[in-house]
Amino acid sequence: MSTISSKVPHGPLADKWSKYKEHIDLVNPANKRNIDIIVVGTGLAGGSAAATLAELGYNVKSFCYQDSPRRAHSIAAQGGINASKNYQGDGDSNYRLFYDTVKGGDYRSREANVHRLAEVSGNIIDQCVAQGVPFARDYGGLLDNRSFGGVLVSRTFYAKGQTGQQLLLGAYSAMNRQIARGKITMHNRHEMLDVVKVEGKARGIIARNLITGEIERHSAHAVVIASGGYGNVYFLSTNAMGSNTTAAWKIHKKGAYFANPCYTQIHPTCIPRSGDYQSKLTLMSESLRNDGRIWVPKNLDDVKAIREGRKKPLDLTEDQRDYYLERRYPAFGNLVPRDVASRAAKERCDAGYGVNATGEAVYLDFATSFERYGKEQAKIHNISNPSEAKIMELGQEIVKAKYGNLFQMYEKIVDENPYKTPMMIYPAVHYTMGGVWVDYNLMTTIPGCYAIGEANFSDHGANRLGASALMQGLADGYFVLPYTIGDYLADDIRTGKISTDGPEFEAAEKDVTNRIELFINNEGTHSVDYYHKKLGKIMWDKCGMSRNAEGLKTAIIEITALREDFWQNVNVPGTATEYNEQLAKAGRVADFLELGELFAKDALVREESAGGHFREEYQTEDGEAKRDDKNFAYVAAWEYRGKPSEAVLHKEELVFEDIELKTRSYK
């Protein structure tokens, strides 16, 4: 086992980034015109990076598998984006945002990266407003904020329940400006299938045109991976159907270390599963926990009656309900961080208190908020002695203004009116904190290959706080990578165009074609989805919200066997030279089948509970996660050696200079 260096600059935490920026090597504008950069993915990180790099003068080639960069899955983020603007005057600061993020991540993130994130957070909001992002405003015309789980200030900016959409469309518009100027060449409906290394450096990619099936070579002086997370290893998640780990996994196999794959976020407020045909899960923004109270019945008799339809949730009086988050965590109540809220729901449902037919659902109830807002509104509008009904009506209007689209979405999917009866929710896989290992410059262990946004591991430790993903994606793309990449490219100003005719491109292309032919000629018996679903079930049962050594060992055996079966018996119809979704999917699932094993291995090695990684063997008496800072305050960075079982662990020790490691308590 060796240790690796994160290249964090020396000096006081708060000055690191500004000092570093001042001394970084720059590429002069004339030389930038001779440098090409490939960006894979057009979500918040990839889109903002492509636009900014193009604006700086580099020639950017962007790739996305969707039919337009505007469809990347960042678009589905609902709740908001954090920034330490302290517009509310409630005591927020860069330090507090930094502190909350490190604590929320259960002390498993890199201090210097997180502080930098907090420092640039305010700038993101300025940038987005300048681009015309229609953030919510108050009646005075100023920007409005809401609060999110795990923090005690209001620092979340939002655009209704569509914040991700609006930020992404902002980045998309910045890209469009550069596409129009000819500085970005956009490759829609293209999938990266390998990275090409020349003399050890990332110099290009092999991509497949998803419409024609053509295999293409693209060269560049640097390659940026912004392809998102690997949540779809679970089959069911809140990710888009096409979200995949292929780009990240390919660079891993070519030398990029993969960090902390076991850190996965299971989001507490999703719409419960309804049956086996389910293809994906839908998130309900965490912001709902600001106004909703989570409960299950106190008595199992009531649970039974509800499941059988003999009772309705509204029939239960206050003292027949168990508001278990408020009971267990009086200080934070319904606003505890995501991992804590998810596990608490699982604990209640495992104990038999789940309120729907599958036994996997808890209530999220807005009645208290309807009443509170209603009374407030009655006062504001001078209505004396308002009736119950009037109060409810007034209160519901306020809630509707805040979360109207979420309530509507819920009703469309579940066919129940959440203004009349409490919502049902259950945790679902949502985000992956683990990802490609990067240093302070966001460069992977392959020189010239970078990873940004959810694709890297860097800022969220073992658990991500709400509204921080959008912040990190845009911070990486707009404000961090454009600086740090210059430091590397400064050496490339005389390199000239990279040819795609070399043996390295030839070899990589051959590998890609061979694999595709294997799929097409296999003529197996089972569909790609058959394997994906099986993998998902292993992952959810044994590497899900809680894990133990025995289960993880079994998972490794099962995944290995499933992978072998897959390569023998998968059936991919059609040909390689046409639009073929099954073929594209087969490649993605093949990569998930490898990643899943590394995931389980990482979870097995980490003999502690931290954030989203909960090992049953390591918990306190009252069931809270027990960290082991003495032995596990490190980033686990895995090096690929031929197959996942042979992966070699490298440790990046986490040094905490500014924060004292404490047991995370939200009581």
Partner 1 sequence: MNLTLKIWRQKGPQDKGGIVDYKVSDISEHMSFLEMMDVLNEQLVNKGEEPVAFDHDCREGICGMCSMYINGEAHGPNRGITTCQLHMRTFKNGDTIYIEPFRANAFPVIKDLVVDRSSFDRIQQAGGYISVNTSGNTQDANSLPISKENADLAMDAAACIGCGACVATCKNASAMLFVSAKVSQFSLLPQGQVEATDRVMGMVKQMDEEGFGNCTNTGACEVECPKGISLDNIARMNREYFSASAKG
Q: Could you list the beta-strand ranges (E) of 407-550.
A: 423-432, 435-436, 449-451
Encoded tokens for 630: 């003495």
Q: How far is Cα of residue 550 from the mean position of the Cα atoms in its chain? A: 28
Q: Which is nearer to partner 1, 170 or 611 (CB)?
A: 170
**Options 141-149, 289-297, 460-468, 503-511: segment touching partner 1 (CB under 8 A):** 141-149
Of 14, 24, 143, 198, which lies in the binding site for partner 1, with binding defined by CB under 8 A? 143
Residue carrying structure tokens 């995944």: 559
**Options 93-101, 254-262, 367-375, 572-580: segment touching partner 1 (CB under 8 A):** 572-580
Q: Which is nearer to partner 1, 87 or 540 (CB)?
A: 87
Residue 478 binds partner 1 (CB under 8 A): yes
Q: Which is nearer to partner 1, 34 or 176 (CB)?
A: 176
- 37 pairs with which residues across the strands? 60, 222
Q: Could you list the beta-strand ranges (E) of 390-517.
A: 423-432, 435-436, 449-451
Minimum distance between the CB of residue 537 and partner 1, rounded to whole angstroms?
16
Q: Which is nearer to partner 1, 77 or 325 (CB)?
A: 77
Residue of 648, 651, 639 lying closest to 253 (CA atoms): 639
Minimum distance between the CB of residue 249 and partner 1, rounded to whole angstroms?
20
Residues ≥6 apart with Cβ < 8 Å to 362: 294, 295, 296, 345, 348, 349, 353, 354, 355, 424, 425, 426
Helix/strand number for the chain, H first, E second: 19, 20
Of 573, 620, 665, 667, which lies in the binding site for partner 1, with binding defined by CB under 8 A? 573
Residue 292 binds partner 1 (CB under 8 A): no
Q: Which is nearer to partner 1, 16 or 70 (CB)?
A: 70
Tell me which DSSP letter residue 651 carries.
E
Among 70, 289, 338, 606, the one annotated catalytic: 338
Residue 355 binds partner 1 (CB under 8 A): no
Residue 123 binds partner 1 (CB under 8 A): yes
Minimum distance between the CB of residue 46 and partner 1, rounded to whole angstroms?
13
**Options 73-81, 218-226, 346-354, 602-610: segment touching partner 1 (CB under 8 A):** 73-81
Of 582, 619, 629, 659, which lies in the binding site for partner 1, with binding defined by CB under 8 A? 582
Count of other CB atoms within 10 angstroms of residue 178: 20
Of 135, 257, 457, 531, which lies in the binding site for partner 1, with binding defined by CB under 8 A? 135
Rounded (5°) CA angle 648-653-659: 150
Q: Which is nearer to partner 1, 70 or 293 (CB)?
A: 70
Q: Which is nearer to partner 1, 525 or 631 (CB)?
A: 525
**Options 2-10, 91-99, 571-579, 615-623: segment touching partner 1 (CB under 8 A):** 571-579
Active site residue 641: no
Q: Which is nearer to partner 1, 21 or 253 (CB)?
A: 21
Residue 155 binds partner 1 (CB under 8 A): no
Pairing status of strand 184-187 against strand 59-63: parallel
Q: In what order do the strands lie in the sheet with 190-198?
A: 190-198, 201-209, 215-219
Q: How far apart are CA 143 and CA 154, in angstroms?
A: 12
Minimum distance between the CB of residue 287 and partner 1, rounded to whole angstroms?
16
Q: Judging by beta carbons within 10 Å of its beta carbon (0-12, 13-18, 19+), is residue 402 exposed, middle or buried?
A: buried
Residue 85 binds partner 1 (CB under 8 A): yes
Residue of 6, 7, 19 lying closest to 119 (CA atoms): 19
Q: How far apart are CA 352 and CA 370, in angstroms?
A: 29
Residue 134 binds partner 1 (CB under 8 A): yes
Q: Please list every residue from 45 through 64 that binds partner 1, using CB under 8 A.
A: 48, 51-52, 55
Q: What's at 585, amino acid-wise?
A: K
Q: Please list every residue from 168 through 227 that binds partner 1, using CB under 8 A.
A: 169, 172-174, 176-177, 179-180, 186, 188, 211
Residue 409 binds partner 1 (CB under 8 A): yes
Residue 136 binds partner 1 (CB under 8 A): yes
Q: Please list every residue from 243 through 282 that binds partner 1, using CB under 8 A.
A: 274-275, 277-280, 282
Minimum distance between the CB of residue 278 and partner 1, rounded to whole angstroms?
7
Residue 143: φ, ψ to 5°: -70, 140
Q: How far apart are CA 592 and CA 195, in angstroms?
A: 18
Kindly provide the b/e burial profile for residues 138-164, where b requires at least 16 CB atoms within 10 angstroms of the residue's own CB: eeeeebbbbbbbbbebbbbbbbbbbbb
Q: Judging by beta carbons within 10 Å of its beta carbon (0-12, 13-18, 19+), is residue 205 exposed, middle or buried?
A: buried
Of 415, 621, 657, 660, which lies in the binding site for partner 1, with binding defined by CB under 8 A? 415
Q: Which is nearer to partner 1, 113 or 243 (CB)?
A: 243
Tell me which DSSP letter residue 329 carries.
-
Minimum distance between the CB of residue 129 and partner 1, rounded to whole angstroms?
4
| Residue 438 contacts residue 418 (beta carbons within 8 Å) | no
Q: Which is nearer to partner 1, 176 or 513 (CB)?
A: 176
| Residue 137 contacts residue 497 (beta carbons within 8 Å) | no
Q: How far apart are CA 568 and CA 172, in angstroms?
A: 41
Number of residues binding to partner 1, judged by CB under 8 A: 78
Residue 613 binds partner 1 (CB under 8 A): no
3-state secondary structure of 595: helix
Residue of 249, 652, 223 lying closest to 446 (CA atoms): 223
Minimum distance between the CB of residue 526 and partner 1, rounded to whole angstroms?
8
Minimum distance between the CB of residue 202 and partner 1, rounded to whole angstroms?
24
Residue 413 binds partner 1 (CB under 8 A): yes
Residue 576 binds partner 1 (CB under 8 A): no
**Options 160-168, 389-397, 424-432, 488-496: segment touching partner 1 (CB under 8 A):** 160-168
Q: Which is nearer to partner 1, 161 or 297 (CB)?
A: 161
Encoded tokens for 607: 């003999």
Q: Mask of contacts with partner 1, 299-328, x by CB under 8 A?
A: ------------------------------
Q: How far apart are CA 327 and CA 333, in angstroms?
A: 7
Residue 117 binds partner 1 (CB under 8 A): no
Q: Please list every residue from 627 through 656 that binds partner 1, using CB under 8 A.
A: none
Of 529, 565, 628, 629, which lies in the binding site for partner 1, with binding defined by CB under 8 A? 529
Q: How far is Cα of residue 133 from the mean position of the Cα atoms in its chain? A: 22
Q: How far apart are CA 272 and CA 631, in angstroms?
A: 37
Residue 138 binds partner 1 (CB under 8 A): yes
Residue carrying structure tokens 């430790």: 461
**Options 138-146, 334-342, 465-473, 619-627: segment touching partner 1 (CB under 8 A):** 138-146
Encoded tokens for 514: 């061979």
Residue 73 binds partner 1 (CB under 8 A): yes
Of 241, 331, 351, 605, which lies in the binding site for partner 1, with binding defined by CB under 8 A? 241
Residue 147 binds partner 1 (CB under 8 A): no
Q: Could you list the beta-strand ranges (E) of 359-487.
A: 362-365, 423-432, 435-436, 449-451
Tell me which DSSP letter residue 68 carries.
S
- The length of the chain is 667
Q: Which is nearer to partner 1, 329 or 592 (CB)?
A: 592
What residues act catalytically?
338
